[in-house]
Amino acid sequence: MTKHIGDLPPALESSGDLNARMAGKRLAVFLDYDGTLTPIVARPELAVMADGMRTVIRNLADRCSVCIVSGRDRPDVENLVGIDNLIFAGSHGFDIASPDGRAIQKEQGAEFAGLLQDVITRLHEIMDPIGGALIEPKKASVAAHYRLVAEDQKHKVKDVVDEILAANPNSLKVTPGKMVWEIQPKIDWDKGKAVLYLLNALGLDTDDVVPMYVGDDVTDEHAFEALSGRGINIFVGDLADPEVGERSTAADYICKDQDEVGRFLDSLAR
Ligand SMILES: [Mg+2]
């Protein structure tokens, strides 16, 4: 069911409802990384998780399955999180593996590597002269960041992304994020598909399991929608943030920042 973000009840004040939904069931927790476990920062490499959050997630992973589902490349987010006993789905779920590489391995979209290389080349031609523009090549996508670009130049990044999409309407799609355009192979795979795949692969696709997804961005809505009605969806964001705005969501509850996410996940670990 779609609601306004502004109408979501705070997760930290909803323990009665939440406990009722989780009573007698096992929890499977799926966590986005950037903006969910860390604050949004100016450059992707600066998004470092606080030690307190790491402790909370480590404790939670002792209690239930915890999966990190990120837009980052899997080795990148594995490094940043730095906890062994988690499942990691990188590249918006295009690339899934367990820490030891055994339990789950799934790669989607590898055949698009050549096309993505062409995209990177074209982005460099247009974006290299734009101050603050940042191209982030990933394993299964290319991110064109414009957070640090001057306001009157931002349209140039949008224009080249539109041009690339127009030239490859059947093979590429774009997902907008927070001051970033993410160009991805146009295949039927997203964070929601990844979460459903993981539930099945982990043997957690059963009535006695309550899946929970925690995320902050537009791409996380796919996961919220996939779990809508059966799981518990937590949106992370401050209503005062203009990037959160008035958009609609399939989430059930809200945490306004990383402090609230940490306290909420800590409450689950007890
Ligand atoms: Mg995020």
Check whether 103 has a pLDDT greater than 80: no
Does residue 32 have an active-site annotation? yes
Residue 122 neighbours by CB distance under 10 Å? 15
Per-residue model confidence as pLDDT tens digits over 186-199: 888 889 999 999 99
Q: Which residues have C-beta within 8 Å of that of residue 188, sequence separation ≥ 6? A: none
Class of domain 110-185: alpha beta
Q: How far is residue 130's CA from residue 215's CA, in Å, rounded to a whole number?
A: 31
What is residue 195's predicted lDDT score, i.e. its pLDDT? 94
Ligand 1 geometric centre to CA of 65 (Å)? 20
Q: Where are the alpha helices (DSSP H) in 152-242?
A: 154-167, 191-201, 220-227
Check whether 201 has a pLDDT greater than 90: no
Per-residue model confidence as pLDDT tens digits over 246-255: 788 999 999 9
Does residue 161 come out as left (phi exceeding 0), alpha (psi in the -120 to 50 range) or beta?
alpha
Spell out the domain ranges in the chain: 3-108+189-268, 110-185
Check: CB of residue 266 under 8 Å from CB of residue 46: no
Burial of 39 from C-beta contacts in 10 A (0-12 / 13-18 / 19+): middle
Check whether 93 has a pLDDT greater than 90: no
Class of domain 3-108+189-268: alpha beta
What is residue 246's predicted lDDT score, i.e. its pLDDT? 74
Check whether 116 has a pLDDT greater than 80: yes
Ligand 1 geometric centre to CA of 32 (Å)? 5
Ion ligand 1 neighbours, Cβ < 5 Å = 32, 34-35, 216-217
Mean of the per-residue pLDDT values for the chain? 92
Ligand 1 geometric centre to CA of 36 (Å)? 6
Among residues 7, 32, 51, 238, the one annotated as catalytic is 32
In sequence order, what are the beta bridge partners of 175?
182
Ligand 1 geometric centre to CA of 255 (Å)? 13
The phi and psi torsions of 173 (rounded to 5 degrees) equal: -140, 165
What is residue 41's predicted lDDT score, i.e. its pLDDT? 83
Token pair, residue 190, equals 């997203």
Ligand 1 geometric centre to CA of 37 (Å)? 8
The phi and psi torsions of 16 (rounded to 5 degrees) equal: -60, -55
